[in-house]
Amino acid sequence: MSLVRLNIKGISYSQTQNGAYALILNEVDGERKLPIVIGAFEAQSIAIALEKEIRPPRPLTHDLFKNFADRFDIVVKQVIIHKLVDGVFYSSIICERDKIEEILDARTSDAIALALRFNAPIFTYKTILDKAGIYLKFSNKDEDEDEEKEESIVVDELLAETGDADTSKSKPKENYKSYTLQELYNMLDGAVANEDYEKAAEIRDEISKRGTK
């Protein structure tokens, strides 16, 4: 079976359920997206690895794993999303130590959080992408807001399909558009200091939308 390389596009949030997220992966040599429902903790960990400006005062679980691996000369070479059963993705982490390769089973969210920290490539099989890959209508950078809404709709549809949706727990996402950049940066510092990485990721998203590095 042929492997297809994927890049991480980002994390999308549910519009109806608080704490519900989907990781959106891009097909490198194509236009399909692979959305994967993930938990809040994993979403925060991935968001922190993507946003270099968010530096936790203490290492998160995936950071600790990276530090542990570095200390014992273990390298994550690649991650392969190798199976899809009833909407659940299964992944393998290919590691190497002393030129000996080992394959570890892992949840896809954990595998990708580690791949980011090791700068390791992410792959899936063409059959999986054919089955679960989607095309988003909006792909132009000038239509980022529309694309974000469409991705959120995809998250809600995935939650409904997997039976994870629970609108009774829904809570509106805070709107940061009315804040100035300086206020956003101050709030970002406060969220990181309080280890509220979900809030920090949302604030950083708003800063990024304004084209500020």
For 16-72, the pLDDT digits (tens) are 565 678 889 999 988 899 999 888 888 888 988 887 767 777 888 999 999 999 999
For the ranges 27-36, 59-68, 76-85, 173-182, the lowest mean pLDDT is seen at 173-182
Q: Indicate whether 112 belongs to any domain.
A: yes
DSSP type of residue 19: T
Same domain as 130, residue 27: yes
Q: Indicate whether 170 belongs to any domain.
A: no
Q: Indicate whether 167 belongs to any domain.
A: no
Same domain as 44, residue 20: yes
CA nearest 157: which of 17, 5, 32, 56?
Answer: 17
Same domain as 30, residue 123: yes
DSSP type of residue 174: P
Same domain as 204, residue 108: no
pLDDT digits over 158-167, tens only? 666 654 443 3
Residue 201's domain comprises 176-211
Is a pLDDT exceeding 70 seen at residue 143?
no
Which residues are within 8 A (CB) of 128 and not within 5 positions of it... i.e. 6 or more apart? Answer: 34, 81, 82, 83, 84, 89
Q: Indicate whether 168 belongs to any domain.
A: no
Q: Which residue has the higher pLDDT, 103 or 203?
A: 103
Q: Give the integer Cα–Cα distance in Å for 150 and 136.
A: 7
Kindly report the pTM of this predicted structure: 0.73
Which residues are within 8 A (CB) of 75 and not within 5 positions of it... i.e. 6 or more apart? Answer: 69, 95, 96, 97, 118
Out of 55-64, 137-146, 199-208, the most confident range is 55-64
For the ranges 44-53, 69-78, 168-177, 194-203, the lowest mean pLDDT is seen at 168-177
Same domain as 91, residue 14: yes
Same domain as 190, residue 134: no
Which residues are within 8 A (CB) of 60 and not within 5 positions of it... i.e. 6 or more apart? Answer: 44, 45, 48, 197
Same domain as 28, residue 126: yes
Report residue 125 as tokens. Answer: 């099989």
- Overall number of domains in the chain: 2
Please report which confidence band the pLDDT of residue 169 belongs to, taking 50, 70 and 90 as the band edges: very low
Same domain as 19, residue 118: yes
**Left (φ > 0), alpha (ψ -120 to 50) or beta: where does 147 sit?**
alpha
Is a pLDDT exceeding 70 seen at residue 187?
yes
Overall residue count recorded for the chain in this entry: 213
Residue 210 CA to its chain's centroid (Å):
21
Report residue 93 as tokens. Answer: 């982490």
Please report which confidence band the pLDDT of residue 184 belongs to, taking 50, 70 and 90 as the band edges: confident
Number of Cα atoms under 13 Å in the Cβ half of residue 154: 25
Same domain as 93, residue 25: yes
pLDDT score recorded for residue 16: 58
